[in-house]
Chains A and B, each alone.
Chain A
Amino acid sequence: MALSQNWLAYDQPDLQGSVAVARTNGWLEAYIAVDGVHCAACVRGVQKALGGRVRDLSVHLVSRTATFRFNPVDAPLSALLQSLDDAGYRPHPLAQDLDAEASRLERRRSLARLAVATICAMQVMMLAWPDYFDAGKIDAGIEQLLRWSQWVIATPAVLYCGWPYLASAWQQIRLATVGMDTPIAVSILIAYAFSAWRTLQGEGAIYFDAATMFIMLLGAGRYLEGRTRAIAVDRLRSLAGRRPLTATRIIAGHVETVATALLNRGDEICVAPGDVVPADGALLDTLAQLDESILTGESRPVYRKHGDTVLAGSLNGNPFDLHLRVTGAGEHTRLAGINRMLLAAERDKPTLVLTTDRIASRFVLGVLFSAAMAAFYRWPHGADSAINAALAVLLVSCPCALSLAIPAVYAAAANLLSMKGVLLLRPSALDQAAQASHIVFDKTGTLTRAEMEVARVEVSGGMPREACIAVAAALERGLHHPLAKAIGALDLSKSCSDRSLETRGIAGTVEGRSYRLEAETHLDHGDAMTWLALTDDDGGVLARFGLRASPRTGAAHVVGEFKQLGLHPIMCTGDAQAPACAAATALGLPEVHWNQTPADKLGHLRSLQKAGAIVMAVGDGINDGPLLSAADVGVAMPGGAAITQAHADVILTGDSLDGLLELHRIAGVSQLRIRQNLGWAIGYNLLMLPFAFLGYLTPVLAALGMSVSSLIVVANALRLGGSVAPANAPGYPDAQMEH
């Protein structure tokens, strides 16, 4: 009998501290995942369940999470969670690791800057309009009024909207590095200061319009960049927070729910059927069946006896509660060890030096030098002419289009991919995906479905086929392991009593007769199926069931396509030899490695990378975590461990391996668009430079040309085919909450 969920533990300060963040006036902000929210009506349901007890409730359909602020004194978190549970929306408090508030404020500020910059640019341009035409002499007083007005409106644009560039350039100068922001800041300041000086003088052309238009375009690029990143951060937040936060501890016969972090060695804990084991422990029951597939890739149930170690992260596959004595909790579990390996692997991940960064420093020095040269060249014609020329050079070569070239393509690619069921968590993975030479697949849960199916039933003749199936189903029904689920689903007609676990299987009584259903591990069938034998009282075999994890539909097709594209597919699995080889043959994979530990998988990856290969890795379990985080492109399946997904570069939200083909295809097209964009941006700059140098290009024309150039770059990026409006990702299976 499963223990009822005890929400009261979340009112304890330590646990509450890890799932809720303090805001103003003693109010706390909680971030929870909610099951069962599919549509707008469910959003309304959540709103009604929580009622007026919370403030600022926002429910996110795509990530199926909710944020709200509550006052722990008036409305304790346990009561709110209970209301949600009662309404049918099972809540899961998420540990708050990433600082979401800071990124939310940053996004808000970025959009605000863009909005203000746009308004200012439009107004300044309107006031500067008369200067663009040679329609006659403007009254000197009005002209001066127009100048002053432009100055007033341009000031907030430069100080508020231009602040990120000014601050960043100052940082770069202080650290004696050169980056893109330096010439940007220099151009803005020169244009602004010079125009202000001219306004005070009362005569001459001014360039507030060029400066503000410049700031607006740069702001657009920055905003696009931030938006793409924001979508990924939201998903990462909801994944990274999923861990078993509470455990059930038994102290002196008294049952209590405590935070997992507070478990000590020697504590006795209790794990409900189907739940995840929260800590490593010694088994106190006589015999138990565990599902370790997400930890090791082993697709068959593991049997532990009294005293054996049960690992944190494995699933309780029995119909009864497990009792364990904790031997390692928190950082001392095998699970934590794998996570440490994952984080270490991530630090050593091959970083891609972005194309823009590589050419940036050389480009920037060249720009500043050219501007100085232009001023020097035009000096004989007067200071006015010199500054005009320098400004024109700075504005025309300032990388507006360059800074939009890549973010625009990433944003368009991420959008298009999300419509096809692929979530890009790190856009730089797109570059790597286009150049991948090898692709490493995990087996259990990735190439094969996590569920098993009954492939063969062989009857020995003692009982009719239907009866055998019914008895076997009765014995296995209600257990949580994939084998049990597969058999239990076959038939619902009979029920079993006196069920007990034996060393290799289940024994029980159905309709008065006792039976056993056991795994035939002593016979090596060599056909990679797991065989269970149904025997009666006397030990005579009545029937045998062959189960296997069926390959995903389309997996063979995907493998074949990749071979045709010239990539080398490999299988690396924690499963045993027979099932691994059988799957490899069925799917056409030329290279297989079995019985791989997480460290083994990582080792294979490293040797491939050392030989110069670019590796795409696809996996789902905790044991794939280090592999995915160290790979050039780590792709996670959505139904697997949350922590693996959180450290991957791509998640196949559509739960289909076809997403890999889409990723590869769109990555290739994106590379092409990026190269086109960069080529255009640089080519345009080089073309216009001599004109600016020689004084034929006024700063206004330079700024105008820049905007057209930027538009061309964005339009080219949009050619990727997605619409500009954000798309909903297709529904995806929830990551296993417990991991």
Chain B
Amino acid sequence: MEILYLLIPMGVVLIAGCIAVLLWAFANGQFDQLDEIGKSMPDDGR
């Protein structure tokens, strides 16, 4: 089971990465308008 000595720390690093991305998304205002987004029209790019 020595592989766990690699996998568990890797898991921790992965979690740290996820949390970093999550915090970036928050700082970027991605979660500010949870309700209003559903009411806006899709952007066709025109």
Chain B residues 22 to 46 lying within 8 A of chain A, measured CB to CB, are 22-23, 26, 29, 31-33, 35-36, 39-41
> Are the C-beta atoms of B4 and A142 separated by less than 8 Å?
yes
| Residues on the B chain within 8 Å of A112, using CB | 22-23, 26, 31
Once the chains are docked, how many angstroms separate the CA of A60 from the CA of B8? 45
| Residues on the B chain within 8 Å of A145, using CB | 4-5, 8-9
Of A38-46, A209-217, A540-548, A550-558, the segment with at least 4 beta carbons within 8 Å of chain B is A38-46
| Residues on the A chain within 8 Å of B40, using CB | 40, 43-44, 59
Once the chains are docked, how many angstroms separate the CA of A145 from the CA of B5? 7
Q: Which residue of B15, B26, B32, B33 is within 8 Å of A119 (Cβ)? A: B15
Check: A51 CB closer than 8 A to any chain B CB: no
Once the chains are docked, how many angstroms separate the CA of A149 from the CA of B11? 9
Interface string of B1-21 (1 = CB under 8 A from A): 100110011011001001100
Once the chains are docked, how many angstroms separate the CA of A39 from the CA of B15? 40
Interface string of A141-184 (1 = CB under 8 A from B): 11001100100110010000000000000000000000000000
> Are the C-beta atoms of A119 and B31 separated by less than 8 Å?
no
> What is the minimal beta-carbon distance from A419 to any residue of chain B, in angstroms?
14
> What is the minimal beta-carbon distance from A186 to any residue of chain B, in angstroms?
26
| Residues on the A chain within 8 Å of B41, using CB | 40-41, 43-44
Once the chains are docked, how many angstroms separate the CA of A108 from the CA of B24? 12
With known contacts A40-B40, A58-B33, A145-B5, A152–B22 Cβ distance under 8 A: no
> Are the C-beta atoms of A61 and B39 separated by less than 8 Å?
yes
> What is the minimal beta-carbon distance from A64 to any residue of chain B, in angstroms?
12
Once the chains are docked, how many angstroms separate the CA of A58 from the CA of B29? 12
| Residues on the B chain within 8 Å of A146, using CB | 8
Nearest CB in chain A to that of B22: its residue:
A115
> Are the C-beta atoms of B31 and A111 separated by less than 8 Å?
yes
> Are the C-beta atoms of B19 and A119 separated by less than 8 Å?
yes
Chain A residues 31 to 56 lying within 8 A of chain B, measured CB to CB, are 39-41, 43-44, 56
> Are the C-beta atoms of B18 and A119 separated by less than 8 Å?
yes
Nearest CB in chain B to that of A60: its residue:
B36
> Are the C-beta atoms of B26 and A108 separated by less than 8 Å?
yes
Once the chains are docked, how many angstroms separate the CA of A610 from the CA of B36? 45
With known contacts A58-B33, A145-B4, A123–B15 Cβ distance under 8 A: yes
| Residues on the B chain within 8 Å of A60, using CB | 36
Nearest CB in chain B to that of A56: its residue:
B29
> What is the minimal beta-carbon distance from A543 to any residue of chain B, in angstroms?
51
Nearest CB in chain B to that of A157: its residue:
B19
With known contacts A43-B40, A104-B32, A108-B26, A116–B8 Cβ distance under 8 A: no
Nearest CB in chain A to that of B23: its residue:
A112
| Residues on the B chain within 8 Å of A120, using CB | 15, 19
> What is the minimal beta-carbon distance from B5 to any residue of chain A, in angstroms?
6
> Are the C-beta atoms of A153 and B31 separated by less than 8 Å?
no
> What is the minimal beta-carbon distance from A739 to any residue of chain B, in angstroms?
27
> Are the C-beta atoms of B12 and A116 separated by less than 8 Å?
no
Interface string of A598-620 (1 = CB under 8 A from B): 00000000000000000000000
Check: A464 CB closer than 8 A to any chain B CB: no
| Residues on the B chain within 8 Å of A152, using CB | 12
> Are the C-beta atoms of B36 and A59 separated by less than 8 Å?
yes
> Are the C-beta atoms of A40 and B8 separated by less than 8 Å?
no
Once the chains are docked, how many angstroms separate the CA of A39 from the CA of B19? 36
> Are the C-beta atoms of B18 and A149 separated by less than 8 Å?
no
With known contacts A41-B41, A43-B40, A108-B31, A116–B5 Cβ distance under 8 A: no
> What is the minimal beta-carbon distance from B2 to any residue of chain A, in angstroms?
9
| Residues on the B chain within 8 Å of A149, using CB | 8-9, 11-12
Once the chains are docked, how many angstroms separate the CA of A104 from the CA of B39? 20
Once the chains are docked, how many angstroms separate the CA of A281 from the CA of B5? 83
Interface centre among B8, B9, B19, B32 (most CB of A within 10 A): B19
Check: A99 CB closer than 8 A to any chain B CB: no
> Are the C-beta atoms of A108 and B32 separated by less than 8 Å?
yes
Interface string of A303-337 (1 = CB under 8 A from B): 00000000000000000000000000000000000
> What is the minimal beta-carbon distance from B12 to any residue of chain A, in angstroms?
5
> Are the C-beta atoms of A142 and B1 separated by less than 8 Å?
yes
Interface string of A93-118 (1 = CB under 8 A from B): 00000000000100111011001100
| Residues on the B chain within 8 Å of A40, using CB | 39-41
Nearest CB in chain B to that of A39: its residue:
B39
> What is the minimal beta-carbon distance from A647 to any residue of chain B, in angstroms?
26
Once the chains are docked, how many angstroms separate the CA of A70 from the CA of B26? 23
Check: A139 CB closer than 8 A to any chain B CB: yes
> What is the minimal beta-carbon distance from A315 to any residue of chain B, in angstroms?
34
> What is the minimal beta-carbon distance from A39 to any residue of chain B, in angstroms?
8
> Are the C-beta atoms of A43 and B39 separated by less than 8 Å?
yes
Check: A690 CB closer than 8 A to any chain B CB: no
| Residues on the A chain within 8 Å of B26, using CB | 108-109, 111-112, 115
| Residues on the B chain within 8 Å of A156, using CB | 19
| Residues on the B chain within 8 Å of A109, using CB | 26
> What is the minimal beta-carbon distance from B25 to any residue of chain A, in angstroms?
9
> What is the minimal beta-carbon distance from A359 to any residue of chain B, in angstroms?
34
Check: A679 CB closer than 8 A to any chain B CB: no
> What is the minimal beta-carbon distance from A546 to any residue of chain B, in angstroms?
46
Q: List 21 A-B contacts (CB under 8 A).
A: A39-B39, A43-B40, A44-B40, A44-B41, A58-B33, A61-B39, A104-B32, A108-B26, A108-B29, A111-B26, A112-B23, A116-B19, A119-B18, A119-B19, A120-B15, A120-B19, A123-B11, A142-B5, A149-B11, A152-B12, A726-B35
Given A39-B39, A43-B41, A119-B22, 11 more contacts at CB 8 Å? A43-B40, A44-B40, A56-B29, A59-B36, A59-B40, A107-B32, A112-B31, A115-B22, A123-B15, A142-B5, A149-B12
Shortest 10 CB-CB contacts between residues of A and residues of B: A112-B26, A40-B41, A44-B41, A149-B12, A43-B40, A726-B35, A123-B15, A61-B39, A40-B39, A149-B8
